Structure 1
């Protein structure tokens, strides 16, 4: 625990730099998952891009903090359909994989609803044609825009039709409500039509959750998430996490570019100024001063 605490102190600046890069970037993927703690529960939020990942713990699933955090974000936010993202003042792209899963579930629950199928079938055909273009040309605006007229035609026909079944009316309302957030990727370079990047990052939290159960406290989880952020960022950049730590470099961009200088470690490692390990603190409290031992804490 002392070693983890020291690492977090050392790499807090790296963590903050990665967060700043995410907010300044053109695309940001976001997701959240519940985390049970020794003294309650909360939520771990993940913010990810193709070059960085940051995890943040919050006691509540409320998304009010996102307004302040993302007030300077000018890119496209990729997310699921959680309502906390609705009011954020930025361009947004909803995960179409989530939408297709919900459509498939609705179709299975209502196998004889022809009205519902009159929505899901054309939407599926439209999305398949777009994904074929993505597979061939990548997420490039100049190729994606060729589908803009087909998208407008789909929504125009959807808005004009009257549906009777509850399932079809519910899907119609959902699609029209999110009309401006379903195909944002057609108008912007490098924006994904799904949120797989954030969902893959959330798997690291799920693995950790299975390992620790409810034995972790908020302070310990917060420290773990700082190091997990560095680990996952190394992972998406195809960098060795261990080698990055051993390099003693704190700027990951500098390390990835191979511009860092090899630093020789000191012959004797000393604690940072003001840091007192818990083991030494307990010895002091036990009255080690009576033995005449003096413990000096110096700076790096």
Structure 2
């Protein structure tokens, strides 16, 4: 089974859609506030973004990186991002951040050189006029089994904020809320908490579906709102990532079938393809 070029083009268009729903907009505005405060006052401020997997936290960081709001206080390439691994270390985080500067021979941090590389990182941040540092998947710090791992990374985060004077955004799953009890010096700096919860089956859910429907011109996606909003909610569990996957697949199937609007049979096939043949999940479009 292959999709046509036209179908793939439409799928790409849908994949690039960003919907600034209420909670997404709150978090985006909150990040804009701390960037302004951090840059102009050189105060160590920050925010944490708490969201379940697939709810849009990585998309949020990407939206800030691309400056989709066109904030005058955020330059191109002025947001530094790293994603923590499941067993994070200071060396791993520093390596990820340093790689963003595209050194011809990138410096590599090891436990023995962490202190040296910290200074290299701090100087690079200053030289490149970085305005914001975002650390994704920060919940792994609190999932670490060893207490000393948590304390070392938390201390490094505080030191980075103090040395650079830059705002920091920490994003992660629900475990990230542990930050409020983990360390008073860190929690008073990372004081703003925003969440991107899974959607409820309410008016905002239909607003999100409407946003997808109005953004696509090649076919009509209006039945998502008018006829299948409840079934789509059941299929995706109110998760943005699953919703986008389902809409992309259904749109491409509709186009290659030569139909003008998405129907229940397109959604049924899209769900089957999305979850795979061996899933235990029942298809709500049966």
| Band of TM-score, shorter chain | under 0.3
- Give the TM-score normalised by structure 2: 0.26
- Give the TM-score normalised by structure 1: 0.26
Which structure: larger Rg? 1
